[in-house]
């Protein structure tokens, strides 16, 4: 989990370090994809283990019933398999690995979104968006008022 949490920290983009974010994006995405693949493989193995345990339990339950001379229904066998300790333990392991795979999948998706965000932020940087300082309060209103006056003057010029 430590690696997952470490890589999650890279989701935050510092607009003053876009060059670093861009140069590390591919490497980080590769590391995430690699870990995601490993966890998916473990999850799939755990699922196969659940199916094997269920099949073994199914056979054992049927053999025991035949040895005892009991008639067995599909519902009885299915319930006995689902409630057995072996099935429960294997399913718990599978669900834990499924949760980990989902976390890595979410991180991978987030880094895909990060790549798109980086492109947009770079375009803003190239356009000079970050060159101006941000202002607030009365300054913003004054600037907005000046801009509205400028636009009104431009409209008058076009009509003339």
Spell out the per-residue pLDDT of the chain, length 160, in tens: 599 999 999 999 999 999 999 999 999 999 999 999 999 999 999 999 999 999 999 999 999 999 999 988 999 999 999 999 999 999 999 999 999 999 999 999 999 999 999 999 999 999 988 776 555 555 666 677 777 787 778 777 877 6
| pLDDT at residue 151, as a whole number | 75
The pTM is what? Answer: 0.72
The confidence score (pLDDT) of residue 119 equals: 95
Q: Where are the domains of the chain?
A: 2-135
d(C-alpha 150, C-alpha 154), whole Å: 6
Cβ(111)–Cβ(50) under 8 Å?
no
- For residue 60, what pLDDT is reported? 95
Q: Provide the pLDDT for residue 140.
A: 62
Give residue 6's pLDDT: 95
User: How confident is the model at residue 118, as a pLDDT?
Assistant: 96
Instruction: Tell me if residue 136 falls in helix, strand or coil.
Output: coil
């Amino acid at each position: 989990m430590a690696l997952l949490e470490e890589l999650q920290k890279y989701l935050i983009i510092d607009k003053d370090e876009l060059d670093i974010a861009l140069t590390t994006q591919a490497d980080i995405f590769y590391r995430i994809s690699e870990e995601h693949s490993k966890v998916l493989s473990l999850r799939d193995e755990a699922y196969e283990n659940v199916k094997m345990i269920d099949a073994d339990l199914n056979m054992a339950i049927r053999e025991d019933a035949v040895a005892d001379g009991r008639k067995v229904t599909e519902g009885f066998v299915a319930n006995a398999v689902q409630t057995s300790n072996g099935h429960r333990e294997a399913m718990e392991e599978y669900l834990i690995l499924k949760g980990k795979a989902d976390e890595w999948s979410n991180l991978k998706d987030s880094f895909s979104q990060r790549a798109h965000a980086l492109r947009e932020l770079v375009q803003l940087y190239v356009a000079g968006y970050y060159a101006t300082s941000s202002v607030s309060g009365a300054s913003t209103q004054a600037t907005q008022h000046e801009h509205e006056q400028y636009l009104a003057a431009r409209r008058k010029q076009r009509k003339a």
